[in-house]
Structure 1
Amino acid sequence: MDWSGRHIQSRPRRLGIAGGSVLLLGISPAPAQDIEPRAFSNAPVGVNFLIAGYAYTRGGIAFDPALPVKNPRLETSSMVLAYARVLDVWGKSAKFDAIVPHAWLSGSADYRDQPLERVVDGFADPKLRFSVNLYGAPALRLKEFKAYRQDVIVGASLQVSVPWGQYDASRLINIGMSRWSLKPEFGVSKAIGSWTLELSAAATLFTENRDFYGGNRRTQDPLYSAQAHLIYGFRSGLWASLDATHFSGGRTTLNGIQNDDRQENWRVGGTLALPIDPRHSIKLYASSGVSALTGNNYDLIGIAWQYRWGGGL
């Protein structure tokens, strides 16, 4: 979720800029592979966001990138409904968001040289996140926010994935992951004229899955990730970004035996946000795997609609 602090003389144009903000809330099904520009931007306190989105993926493992399978040929369609609210935390702008995804998955893969097929739909694991801008983005009401100009923002967040998604222990490929995950993240955003450069780093930590594929016990090492975004904002409120992410680690252990499945992957993509009016906006986005040490490369394309209210709008 992002708001532009660019100076526009008239109130309608200011709100038009605000209309260009769209939040991408983890629509990418693999949790460490999310690409989210403007994650640590500022917004007026009290504003609420309702987001509905759709994403389509094709290629490697989409929901659990460390599954011990070969030649994955999967397609997923994911719908997401999310809510976010901007908060004042000791004078710093902060945000809480909740994400509920629903997915359809179909395709095949090879496990121990045996073909597997899977067709399933259901809810994926919901996600809860709290983020706070520690520097450069004070908590401001809408009237105060009109004069705000971004320079450097430093922020941090913690996302929790709750294991409530569809899961069948007799199946290797599932929509839910049957385990908790925690993802702390730290980010820096620097505005230079119409351009914004953003960098962030995160680590995804997993609890044990005690009911993995027939009652086995499976653990996974932390998965480390980094993102970079180069964003250009237009005076109309439209903005576009070039996005990249790298993630590594995540080696798994099954019943005490460590697998040779460490990840080392790169993804690149692009985002285009389109303001409709002061309350509505649309975002189009796409990404693709560039290189992968494991077989979890996939292509993704998606769209998200956002509605804003409250906070004096």
Structure 2
Amino acid sequence: MKVIAVILWMFLLVGPHAGAQDLEPRRWTPLPLKNNFIGAGYVYTNGKIFFDPILDVKDATIDVNTFVADYVRPFKLGNKLARFDLRVPYTIARWEGQLADSPTSITRRGFSDPRLRLSVNILGPQAMDLKELQEYMSTHAVYTVVGVSVAVTLPLGQYYSDKLLNLGQNRFVFRPQAGFVHNWRQWSYELTGSLYLFTNNNDFFNGGTRKQDPIFAMQTHLIRRFKRGLWGSLSLGSGLLGESLVNRQPHNDKREDLLGAFSFGFPLLKRQAVKLVYMRSETLNDIGGDTNSFGVVWSASF
């Protein structure tokens, strides 16, 4: 069941992240047909948040506890390998800071927006069952996979139109994505680009309308596999976040973020595994956040 172990390590790398951007190594690693993958994760994020100076918010911090449930189902699309992903997050978030020089804190508890995603590997191993995939990996120490996907974030999370800080976005988010992973023996290198496209939030704070320009993001990963199913990865990512307009007025909130992460995974049982992850996110502009995230993810196949 060596291939199942390798696949679980890949699945564990798809860990939850509290922010809009994520770092997701081995996105395009082949999965065997006739298998299902489930996962549950917890991520704690804390750090400083920098608001537009016009809002008169100082010394703002955030603490977020995120619980995520994942489901992945590979299937055959023509002769290509495809997969369907579902992610449902539950979030407990607390913001603290000085609003007009007065101490203020806000806490939200509830579901964040769920995400659906369809992915297709257009180059690389074709759709195979577990035995065929085992034979392929045993005879191909070096291979490359190229994939494309589209994800849709649904506006089903907790949202209050009379609040500025919410867990849900009250808008659809479409994310086309393309990338590749090159595997050579015990090493893998991956590069992925994403484009975030937003529909309007027509029920923004106090009846306003919020529009947002697209976001372009890149991420790259270097993964090393060791004996007994252990692995480690180093990840880097960046994103150019589009400016938003509220009631047709520019909101002066363009952001540029830099992300870095380290992940470590190990087997738990025959078809189960655990991943530990640390992620750092820093803003390169005056608006954004500097945060640290620590997470643990469990996954299983059946």
Between 223-232 and 275-284, report the one with greater CA deviation.
275-284
Distance 2:103 2:125 in 1: 52
Aligned equivalents of 1:234, 1:216: Cα separation in 2: 53
* Other-structure match for 1:7: none
Q: Note if contact 1:199-1:226 (Cα within 8 Å) is conserved in structure 2.
A: yes
Q: Which residue does the alignment assign to 2:231?
A: 239
Question: What is the distance in 2 between the residues matched to 1:112 and 1:188?
Answer: 48
1:129 aligned residue: 117
User: What residue identity is the alignment partner of 2:131?
Assistant: K
The count of corresponding residues between Structure 1 and Structure 2 is: 294
Distance 1:61 1:180 in 2: 24
Paired letter, 2:39? I
Deviations 1:101-132 (A, max 9, x none): 10101122466777652111000000001111
Tell me the equivalent position of 1:141: 129
Among candidates 231, 251, 254, match of residue 246 of structure 2: 254
Letter in 2 for 1:219: K
**What is the aligned partner in structure 2 of residue 77 from structure 1?**
65
Between the aligned partners of 1:73 and 1:23, the Cα distance in structure 2 is 29
| 1:304 aligned onto 2:297 | yes
In the alignment, residue 30 of structure 1 is paired with which amino acid? G
For 1:303 and 1:269, the matched residues in 2 are separated by: 13
* Structure 2 counterpart of 1:46: 34
Partner AA of 2:253 in structure 1: D
- Identity value in percent: 32
Which letter maps to 2:127? Answer: A
**Match for residue 208 of structure 2?**
216
Instruction: Give unmatched runs, 5+ long, in structure 2.
Output: none
AA aligned opposite 1:22: F
Q: 2:271 aligns with which of 279, 282, 285?
A: 279
Q: Per-residue CA shift, 1:117-151, capped at 9, x if unaligned? A: 21110000000011111101310111111112351
Higher strand share: 2
Kindly indicate whether residue 106 of structure 2 is the aligned counterpart of residue 118 of structure 1. Answer: yes
Residues in 2 aligned to 1:115 and 1:131: alpha-carbon distance in whole angstroms:
46
Change (3 A) 1:249 1:25: same
| Equivalent-residue separation in structure 2 for 1:275 and 1:26 (angstroms) | 16
Q: Are the aligned partners of 1:21 and 1:273 in contact in 2 as well (CA < 8 Å)?
A: no
SS at match of 2:236: strand
Gapped regions of structure 1 (runs ≥ 5): 1-11
Contact 1:127 1:161 (8 Å CA) reproduced: yes
Q: Give the SS at the match of 1:151.
A: strand
Would you say 1:29 and 2:22 are equivalent positions? no
Relative to the length of structure 1, the TM-score reads 0.87
Greater helix fraction, Structure 1 or Structure 2: 2
Instruction: Give the Cα–Cα distance (whole angstroms) in 1 for the partners of residues 8 and 29 of structure 2.
Output: 14
Instruction: Give the SS at the match of 1:179.
Output: coil
Please identify, of 181-190 and 112-121, the stretch whose mean Cα deviation from structure 2 is larger. 112-121
TM-score after normalising by structure 2: 0.90
Tell me the residue number matched to 1:3. none
Cα distance in structure 2, aligned partners of 1:276 and 1:43: 20
Matched position secondary structure for 1:147 = helix
2:281 counterpart SS class: strand
- Pairwise mapping of residues 145-294 of structure 1 onto structure 2 (< 5 A)? 145-148=133-136, 149=140, 151-293=143-285, 294=287
Q: Could you tell me how far apart the structure 2 residues matched to 1:15 and 1:131 are?
A: 20
Query: Deviations for 1:179-234, whole angstroms, at most 9, x for unmatched residues?
Result: 11001110111112211110000011111111111111111100110000000012
Task: Work out the CA distance in 1 between the residues paired with 2:132 and 2:254.
Answer: 48
- Decide whether aligned partners of structure 1 residues 13 and 163 sit closer, same or farther in structure 2, where only a CA change above 3 A counts: closer
SS in 2 for 1:163: coil
Give the superposition deviation at 1:295.
2.3
Aligned-residue offset at 1:17: 4.0
Contact 2:182–2:189 (Cα < 8 Å) also in 1: yes
Q: For the structure 1 residues 153 and 177, does the alpha-carbon distance in structure 2 shift closer, same or farther, using more than 3 Å as the test? A: same
Tell me the C-alpha RMSD between the 2 structures. Answer: 2.2
- Counterparts in 2 of 1:251 and 1:290: CA distance versus 1, 3 Å: same
